[in-house]
Amino acid sequence: MPQPQEIELKFQCAPEDLGRVLAAAPDGEDDTAELISVYFDTPGGDLRKAGASLRVRESRGRRVQTLKRGDGLAREEHESPIAGDAPDPTLGPLSELLPKAAELKPAFHVRITRRQRLVRFADAEIELALDQGEVRGGQRSSPISEVELELKSGAPAALFDLARELSHAAPIYLSFASKASRGQALMSGEPLHVQKSARPAPEQGATVAAVFQGIGRSTLKAIAGNAEVLRERADPAALHQLRVAARTLRSALSTFKVVVADGEFKRIKGELRWLAKACDQARNLDVFSEEAEGAAKLDPAPGALAELTTALEAARAHAYADVAQTVGSTRFRDLLIEVTGWVDTGAWLERPEARKPAKPFAFHMLHKRRKKVVKDGQRLEAQSDDGRHQVRIDAKKLRYAAEGFQGLFPAKPARRFIEKLKALQDELGALNDLATQEPMLVHLTLRPEAAFAAGEIVGRKAADKPKLLAKASKALKRLEESKPFWC
């Protein structure tokens, strides 16, 4: 029996821009209400670990218990009116998620003022909600300022079309962080934190579409979450994870191309490439700044190191300002809305290939990816920097595909194979860093003393190149000799 679902988009918005969003929305009758929600979980966080949230919301004298789970555009939702303040564990599938004799306790609460409007847009009925308030747990609190669009009837594509219009009227940023997840992050002490892409865990019998959507949703969530961090502060970890997520999604587009390449495919791939390239300079400077920091421990340390460090800090500040501008731009907001809409509702979903079992497709693509790594990696030490860079790209595509498909195969062999891929990537990555540092430094226009210090650091690193090449060749050989986990 199909589970009840809500189809909703959520956006972060500055409080001062909420009025502009409302003014740009289609006409309709407004309603304002004060909502007080208490979120519950077990002391061990069983609901959080299951990807679920449970709340009791009070408004105008009524109490409603809501259980939500899942991610993506459509989430499973179970609502029931209740009489008291405590949740009823017998309602909906709640008992299935809880250990026997589990005790539910309040974890945090959310208090918001909601302005709500039901609108007609593109033959759809959509509920627009503007929420302003806070999430609080103990002595900790965090502000909430959000825009929500919930589809009541009609085609989901209308949600994304309306979202795009509103995003051009005011800077609203697609967010995959629910109020529950914000409360959970607050209680962990990290209300705004770096996010890694979650590894999708496709079930046995999953379709090709389900596997691709799992990858798409997890990477888009990481892109949106780390972009939020980067709009607030220069954070190397957030930048790195945003780039990893963008690369993983681009790699998935390549792996699943025969299924998902529709009329939007080329443009989406191009926009993801734009995002990744906009972050390259900051990431390259982060890597070289770590090299310069390590050089201070050398004996003797390079001269004029302090001047070089000052120049690098200034260049990084400028590069991170560019990144913040990128992830705050209308183009970035459109990218998130359009790619999310395409992953969940794109025309590619109508293809018969999308509904086929994923396992045979995984077998074919993993074999193809591995074959390309082995072929391009022949005589690795004798290749040019560009040639080794291509092997690095091949290895990344194989790794991202292996991680996306690994849930379809036995866990231990998959884990061992992926570890060998990581080792190869690390060695090829060190070689690529060496190849990119000199061109990057040329564009910094350093003063002679700082340039000399930078050249000394690069020179010492280049002296290790034969060792790096030997280690990369050994890592590639170990990968070639390992048994594919999908066979």
> Of 17-26, 103-112, 458-467, which range is least confident?
458-467
Beta-carbon neighbour count of residue 344 at 10 Å?
20
- pLDDT more than 90, % of the chain: 76
Model pLDDT for residues 72-97, shown as the tens digit of each residue: 677 889 999 999 899 999 998 998 99
The whole-angstrom separation of Cα 178 and Cα 72 is 11
Do both 247 and 185 map to the same domain? no
The whole-angstrom separation of Cα 467 and Cα 478 is 17
Computed over every residue of the chain, the mean pLDDT equals: 92
pLDDT higher than 60, residue 2? no
Do both 431 and 294 map to the same domain? yes
CATH number of the structural domain spanning residue 401: 1.40.20.10
The whole-angstrom separation of Cα 165 and Cα 162 is 5
**pLDDT at residue 232 in the model:** 94
Among residues 336, 331, 351, the alpha carbon closest in space to that of 160 is found at 336
**pLDDT at residue 5 in the model:** 73
Do both 396 and 462 map to the same domain? yes
Q: Taking the alpha carbons of 381, 387, 388, 392 in that order, is the dihedral positive or negative?
A: negative
Phi, psi for residue 5 in degrees, rounded to 5: -135, 150
The DSSP symbol for 381 reads G
Domain count, the chain: 2
Fill in the amino acid letter for 195.
Q
The DSSP symbol for 89 reads T
Alpha helices per DSSP H over 346-445 = 358-376, 385-405, 411-442
Look at residue 196 and tell me if it is in a domain. Answer: no
Do both 74 and 186 map to the same domain? yes
**pLDDT at residue 171 in the model:** 96
The whole-angstrom separation of Cα 342 and Cα 262 is 10
Do both 163 and 252 map to the same domain? no
Do both 278 and 172 map to the same domain? no
Q: CB-based contacts of 411: which residues, under 8 Å, 6+ apart?
A: none
The whole-angstrom separation of Cα 359 and Cα 405 is 8
Q: Among 191, 222, 256, where does a domain finish?
A: 191
189: region left, alpha or beta (phi > 0 left; psi from -120 to 50 alpha): left
pLDDT higher than 80, residue 190? no
pLDDT higher than 90, residue 219? yes
Beta-carbon neighbour count of residue 43 at 10 Å?
10
**pLDDT at residue 75 in the model:** 82
**pLDDT at residue 1 in the model:** 46
Look at residue 17 and tell me if it is in a domain. Answer: yes
Do both 119 and 180 map to the same domain? yes
DSSP calls for 123-182: TEEEEEEEEEEEEEETTEEEEEEEEEEEEEES-THHHHHHHHHHHHHS-EEEE---HHHH
**pLDDT at residue 375 in the model:** 96
Do both 294 and 182 map to the same domain? no
Do both 180 and 264 map to the same domain? no
Model pLDDT for residues 270-318, shown as the tens digit of each residue: 999 999 999 999 999 999 999 888 888 877 777 788 899 999 999 999 9
Mean pLDDT value across residues 4-8: 80
Beta-carbon neighbour count of residue 403 at 10 Å?
18
Tokens matching residue 394: 């091949």
Q: Tell the burial category of 172 from Cβ atoms under 10 Å away from its Cβ (0-12, 13-18, 19+).
A: buried
Helix, strand or coil, per DSSP, at residue 32? strand
**pLDDT at residue 105 in the model:** 94
pLDDT higher than 90, residue 457? no
Model pLDDT for residues 50-66, shown as the tens digit of each residue: 889 999 999 888 999 99
CATH number of the structural domain spanning residue 174: 2.40.320.10
The whole-angstrom separation of Cα 438 and Cα 333 is 34
Q: Tell the burial category of 88 from Cβ atoms under 10 Å away from its Cβ (0-12, 13-18, 19+).
A: middle
pLDDT higher than 50, residue 140? yes
Do both 153 and 72 map to the same domain? yes
pLDDT higher than 90, residue 185? no
The whole-angstrom separation of Cα 197 and Cα 399 is 14
Look at residue 229 and tell me if it is in a domain. Answer: no
Q: Tell the burial category of 285 from Cβ atoms under 10 Å away from its Cβ (0-12, 13-18, 19+).
A: buried
Tokens matching residue 99: 């250990």
Look at residue 212 and tell me if it is in a domain. Answer: no
Look at residue 211 and tell me if it is in a domain. Answer: no
Q: Among 191, 210, 227, where does a domain finish?
A: 191
Tokens matching residue 318: 């400028």
Q: Answer for the pair 202, 211: CB distance below 8 angstroms, yes or no.
A: yes
Look at residue 447 and tell me if it is in a domain. Answer: yes
Separate counts of helices (H) and strands (E) for the chain? 17, 9
Model pLDDT for residues 314-338, shown as the tens digit of each residue: 999 999 999 999 999 999 999 999 9
Mean pLDDT value across residues 254-282: 96
Q: Among 191, 219, 251, where does a domain finish?
A: 191
> Of 254-258, 299-303, 360-364, 415-419, which range is least confident?
299-303
Name the residue with higher pLDDT: 387 or 2: 387
Look at residue 81 and tell me if it is in a domain. Answer: yes
Among residues 422, 426, 410, the alpha carbon closest in space to that of 468 is found at 426
pLDDT higher than 80, residue 239? yes
Tokens matching residue 189: 């002490």
450: region left, alpha or beta (phi > 0 left; psi from -120 to 50 alpha): alpha
The whole-angstrom separation of Cα 24 and Cα 26 is 7
Confidence of residue 101 (pLDDT cuts 50, 70, 90): confident
Look at residue 26 and tell me if it is in a domain. Answer: yes
Supply the range of the domain harboring residue 79: 5-191
Do both 294 and 378 map to the same domain? yes
**pLDDT at residue 129 in the model:** 97
Do both 168 and 285 map to the same domain? no
The whole-angstrom separation of Cα 371 and Cα 85 is 60
Phi, psi for residue 91 in degrees, rounded to 5: -85, 140
Q: Report the DSSP beta bridge partners of residue 479.
A: none
